[in-house]
Chains A and B, each alone.
Chain A
Amino acid sequence: MTSLFDYLLGLGDDALVAAQRTAEWCARAPQLEEEVALANVALDQLGQARAFLGYAGELEGAGRDEDALAFLRDEAGFRNAQLVELPNGDFGTTVAKTLFLAAYQKLLFSRLARTAEPRLAGIAAKAAKESAFHVSYASAWTIRLGDGTPLSHRRMRDAVEEVWPYTHELFEPWTAPEAGLDPATLREPWLRVVEKVLGEATLSRPQDGWAATGGRHGRHTEWLGPLLAEMQSVHRAHAGARW
């Protein structure tokens, strides 16, 4: 059991790091259309991060706002699952990460929307609707690539295999009393969503084996540090700057 503050950091950091990674596709996407779509997914994630981190800062009452929490914490202070910090890889890897994260977030936020904690419930209800778009976007691409050419099938399959070990962390015991939600209960419905998409994509669900862990406690992969360095550099170089 963690504090609500820590829990909000986790929800916010998942969204913030996912936003930063997804936005790396700007000016690099395979088509203009996907560029815009991915930018919109990133913008949604950024909006969710602001809402969760803003609330966390107010709850903490130590004068840290959303910007302070986003830009002035070090790697060990981040509570995101390692899934979101993985490099983008090829387009298929990004699609796999987006599908797995969004399917989890949609289920999680739908449940949190019904908690008695009004502000958490309010943010979650809003975020759940946005995650639904991300699920449908990533599902469509998973199917198109998986059930596509031999090359796209192979690369989509490799992407799913590569990312799969990082999905287990999403369902580890990690919650706050106000959330009252055991993430393990989300795994079955998550598998139903994901397996249906993988099936339509003519891909099979990878075997469960090694599982990434530690992100919720501040232990991260080697990829988070460089991401934060880039994300935080302007804020830190111009401390206190105002528009």
Chain B
Amino acid sequence: MRARVEAAVAAVPDPELRVLSIGELGMLRGVSVDDGGHAVITVTPTYLGCPALEFIKADVAAAARAAGATGVEVVVSLSPPWTTDWLSETARAKLADAGIAPPGRLSLPMLAPGCPRCSSPDTTELASCGAAACMALRRCTGCGEPFEHMKAH
């Protein structure tokens, strides 16, 4: 039962980055199911002001119920704070497929991202804050196309 609920909840898509699930984003921090089928699910927001959190909580509860949970409690935890290092490899690949250059690892030196479209390493920053504070807008010198870059944080 726990495995089924966890798989269902992890697959809930992020309302802002629809190509990613909350599991791939690293927003799902814990799933427990007691003998009576009551699930407690812990999620963490990517940032405090995340307006999508209420939708995520509702979607998570619905997914858990659909997977057989008799009752659901969704707990929001802030610590440890979410970091882009929790993005799974699948998530990074999906971001690149969607035209968003994935973030580097915080533990590694910061490198300018390559173009997600043509893989050219020559890109320049147009704006440090794009559609979200964590998204920079860049342009590829190779193919000339602009793209978003999720900054490591």
B79 touches A121 (CB 8 A): yes
B79 contacts across to A, CB distance below 8 A: 118, 121-122, 125-126
Of the candidates B50, B78, B153, which one forms a contact with A132 in the assembled complex, judged by CB atoms under 8 Å apart?
A: B153
Partner of A129, one of B49, B51, B81, B128: B81
A contact residues around B78 at 8 Å (CB): 51, 119, 122-123, 125-126
Bitwise interface map of A from 102 to 116 toward B, beta carbon under 8 Å scored 1, else 0: 000000000000000
- Chain A residues positioned under 8 Å from B48 (CB to CB): 44, 47-48, 50-51, 123, 126-127, 130
Please give the number of chain B residues whose Cβ is less than 8 angstroms from any Cβ of chain A in the complex. 22
A48 (CB) vs chain B CBs: closest residue: B48
A18 to B1, CA, bound (A): 46
Q: Indicate with 1 or 0, residue by residue over B109-153, a CB within 8 angstroms of chain A CB atoms.
A: 000000000000000000111111110010000000000000001
Asked if A174 is at the interface of the complex by the 8 Å CB criterion, the answer is: no
**One of A37, A45, A47, A136 near B50 (C-beta < 8 A):** A47
Contacts of A43 in B (CB 8 A): 49, 51, 133
Q: Give the CA-CA distance A47 to B128 in the complex, in Å.
A: 21
Q: Is A41 an interface residue (CB 8 A)?
A: yes
The listed residue (B49, B81, B82, B131) touching A44 by CB distance below 8 A is: B49
Determine if A130 and B47 form an interchain contact, defined as CB atoms under 8 angstroms apart.
yes
Q: Is B80 an interface residue (CB 8 A)?
A: yes
Contact yes or no, B129 A36, CB < 8 A: yes
How far is it, in angstroms, between the C-alpha of A33 and the C-alpha of B77 when the chains are bound? 32
Contact with B along A35-60 (1 / 0, CB 8 A): 01100110111111011000000000
Q: A43-B49, A44-B48, A123-B78 are in contact. Are A130 and B127 (CB under 8 A)?
A: no
Told that A41-B133, A48-B48 touch, could you supply 19 new A-B pairs with CB distance under 8 A?
Answer: A33-B130, A36-B130, A37-B128, A43-B49, A44-B49, A47-B49, A50-B48, A51-B78, A121-B79, A123-B78, A125-B80, A125-B81, A126-B45, A126-B81, A130-B47, A133-B153, A134-B133, A136-B128, A137-B128
- Residues of A whose CB lies within 8 Å of any CB of B are 33, 36-37, 40-41, 43-48, 50-51, 118-119, 121-123, 125-127, 129-130, 132-134, 136-137, 140
13 inter-chain pairs at a CB distance below 8 angstroms, sorted by A residue, are: A33-B129, A33-B130, A37-B127, A40-B129, A40-B133, A47-B48, A47-B49, A125-B79, A125-B81, A133-B133, A133-B134, A134-B133, A137-B128
Q: Which residues of B contact A (CB under 8 A)?
A: 45, 47-51, 77-82, 127-134, 137, 153
